[in-house]
């Protein structure tokens, strides 16, 4: 038996586009004389469709895709994920289902049991969990179908759930398993995914064909990395990340498990490629092509510019240098050198005159109070005004260049440097921004060395350094990571050896700046706890204050 894994980039609500991709894959699979071609979870409509699932027309158009796929299933079986209607009067209206189509009919359907409702997932809002499990036979082989999370509760050891679907299906003696998934990217998730699949192999000892999405849906990035596992525990083939792939496998060869192909999992490589794909798809799927950003000569805007040029093409990226009376000449020189290295357009628009004009309007109202964050923010908002004016005039989408460390502690100005249509590196801590810059320069200097080595500074006052307001980034990022990713409270972090006053100060900064994060652009997610839809915190709260 031959089985084709189709790892495709779907587009939420683009039923015609998604169907065309699948029909193309079906034709490729037929040329390989494949018996089964497998698509991912909710492939007809894209993942996550969220409240679109509440629109009857949305479900009808998904069902029409199933009907179209049925028409081309006479010579080949098709496995595809799609929402299906719950015929029972009680419960949610929909199931999250895997269809097995053959001969113009629905030969089998398996609904998802384990509905993730944590972090970025909210499936129980829309779907009814399944409690019935049936394998089925096709061309002499008995097949178990599962949907994504259903293989993540091995032996019923996950405390989030009270049933293990594969423990039920294995009782019926399947020869292999097909799992249709929509498993989002984080820089450490690929290893976790392989570990889970190996645990399934250890327990069930049957081949697994695991097919995942690739591509980006607003904040959420899917890396692909579909996996074919042999029953001897070897990764027969882990498919490449961040690219569409259509590959056919001989079941007998997978059963033997004589090969093992595993992809590289270097953290900076993964983050780089994920953000490039996230940028590319955000623009492409929205119908935009051109980006604009402020280029300061600092490392954050430099890294963002490189990612944008690689995602969109240098001809589609425009940088604006906006020096003030506090900007150093070396920062201007570094920004110019970077733009010329990338081959992107750049303009120099000094902001001293607009700053002085605003200050002149406000000076009497400031009542002689000393220079402070108010004057600093006038500069940042002058820059934001210039960038948004150019964005409006020329149709360029403004990229926000704030990193995760700054976003966490509120080291940014609303309607100034926090402005933008997409936050490109706001899920990358400052220490990793430096590592990412080094990775970008691995084949030759793209980002000027001085940009990487000089002390970080917002340059909003004379001789300003980030260290004037923030602790060393190595210390700051470690505390932030424990609080944000690991959800540790102050006592646990202090026990790790960190200064108590510093820990409480940093955590208070995170909490009191929640209002800023509510107003910033979507953040491309590369960690397991990104700001945005996966981290839901109240603005008004007293915890840790």
Q: Alpha helix (H) ranges present in 205-345?
A: 251-256, 267-286, 299-312, 329-342
Rounded Cα–Cα distance for residues 24 and 226 (Å): 19
Residue-level length of the chain: 545
CB proximity list for 491: less than 8 A, separation 6 or greater: none
CA 209 to chain centre: 23
Q: Are strands 227-229 and 208-211 parallel, antiparallel or unpaired?
A: antiparallel
Is 406 known to be catalytic? no
Rounded Cα–Cα distance for residues 319 and 235 (Å): 44
Nearest to 334 by CA among 293, 295, 291, 305: 295
Residue whose token pair is 């019926």: 172
Q: What are phi and psi of 151, to 5 degrees?
A: -100, 5
Peptide bond into 247 cis (omega under 30): no
Asked if 7 and 212 count as a contact pair (C-beta separation under 8 A), the reply is yes
CA 181 to chain centre: 15
Residue whose token pair is 């423990």: 167
Is 148 known to be catalytic? yes
**Catalytic entry in 45, 130, 148, 164:** 148
3-state secondary structure of 458: coil
Is 41 known to be catalytic? yes
CB proximity list for 120: less than 8 A, separation 6 or greater: 48, 184, 219, 220, 525, 533, 534
| Other CB atoms within 10 A of residue 465 CB | 13
**Catalytic entry in 70, 112, 285, 488:** 112
CA geometry: angle 321, 323, 326, nearest 5 deg: 155
Rounded Cα–Cα distance for residues 334 and 329 (Å): 9
270 exposed, middle or buried (CB, 10 Å; 0-12, 13-18, 19+)? buried
Residue 81 C-beta-side C-alpha neighbours within 13 Å: 29
What is the number of helices (H) and of strands (E) in the chain? 17, 19
Kind and range of the H or E run holding 508: helix 500-512
Asked if 39 and 22 count as a contact pair (C-beta separation under 8 A), the reply is yes
Rounded Cα–Cα distance for residues 166 and 200 (Å): 9
CB proximity list for 91: less than 8 A, separation 6 or greater: 128
CA 436 to chain centre: 17
**Catalytic entry in 41, 238, 245, 478:** 41
Tokens of 426: 């706001």
Rounded Cα–Cα distance for residues 220 and 15 (Å): 19
- Catalytic positions: 41, 112, 148
């Amino acid at each position: 038996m031959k089985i084709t894994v189709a790892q495709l980039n779907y587009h939420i609500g683009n039923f015609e586009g998604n169907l065309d991709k699948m029909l193309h894959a079906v034709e490729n699979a037929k040329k390989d004389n494949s018996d089964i071609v497998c698509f991912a979870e909710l492939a007809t409509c894209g993942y996550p469709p969220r409240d679109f699932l509440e629109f009857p027309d949305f479900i009808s158009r998904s069902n029409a895709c199933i009907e179209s796929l049925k028409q081309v299933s006479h010579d080949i079986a098709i496995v595809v994920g799609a929402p299906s209607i719950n015929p029972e009067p009680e419960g949610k209206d929909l199931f999250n289902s895997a269809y097995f189509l053959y001969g113009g009919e629905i030969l089998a359907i398996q609904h998802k049991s384990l509905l993730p409702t944590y972090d970025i997932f909210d499936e129980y809002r829309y779907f009814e969990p399944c409690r019935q499990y049936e394998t089925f036979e096709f061309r002499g082989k008995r097949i178990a179908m599962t949907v994504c999370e259903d293989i993540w509760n091995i032996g019923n050891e996950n405390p989030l759930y009270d049933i293990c679907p594969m423990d039920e299906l294995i009782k019926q003696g399947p020869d292999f398993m097909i799992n249709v998934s929509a498993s989002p990217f984080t820089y450490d998730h690929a290893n976790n995914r392989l570990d889970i699949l190996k645990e399934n192999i250890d327990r069930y000892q049957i081949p697994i064909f695991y097919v995942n999405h690739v591509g980006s849906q607003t904040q959420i990035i899917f890396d692909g990395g579909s996996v074919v596992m042999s029953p001897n525990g070897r990764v027969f083939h882990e498919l490449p990340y961040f690219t569409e792939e259509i590959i056919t496998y001989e079941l007998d060869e997978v059963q033997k498990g004589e090969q093992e192909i595993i992809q590289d999992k270097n953290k900076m490589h993964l983050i780089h490629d994920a953000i490039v794909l996230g940028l590319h798809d955000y623009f492409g799927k929205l119908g935009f092509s051109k980006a604009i950003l402020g280029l300061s000569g600092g490392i954050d805007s430099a890294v963002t510019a490189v990612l944008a040029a690689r995602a969109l093409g240098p001809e589609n990226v425009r940088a604006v240098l906006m020096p003030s009376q506090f900007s150093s000449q070396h920062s201007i020189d570094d920004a110019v050198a970077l733009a010329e290295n990338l081959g992107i357009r750049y303009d120099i628009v000094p902001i001293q005159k607009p700053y002085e004009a605003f200050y002149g309007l406000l000076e009497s109202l400031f009542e002689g109070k000393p220079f402070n964050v108010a004057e600093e923010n006038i500069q940042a908002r002058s820059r934001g005004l210039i960038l948004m004016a150019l964005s409006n005039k020329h149709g360029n989408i403004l990229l926000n260049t704030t990193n995760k460390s700054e976003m966490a502690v509120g080291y940014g100005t609303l309607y100034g440097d926090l402005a933008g249509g997409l936050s490109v590196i706001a899920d990358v801590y400052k220490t990793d921004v430096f590592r990412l810059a080094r990775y970008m320069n691995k084949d030759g200097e793209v980002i000027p060395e001085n940009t990487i080595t000089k002390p970080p500074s917002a340059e909003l006052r004379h001789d300003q350094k980030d260290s004037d307001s923030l602790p060393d980034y190595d210390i700051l990022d470690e505390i932030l990571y424990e609080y944000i990713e690991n959800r540790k409270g102050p006592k646990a972090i202090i026990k790790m050896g960190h200064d108590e006053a510093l820990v409480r100060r940093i955590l208070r900064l995170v909490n009191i700046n929640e209002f800023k994060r509510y107003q910033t652009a979507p953040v491309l997610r590369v960690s397991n706890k990104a700001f945005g839809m996966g981290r839901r915190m109240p603005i008004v709260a007293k915890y840790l204050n």
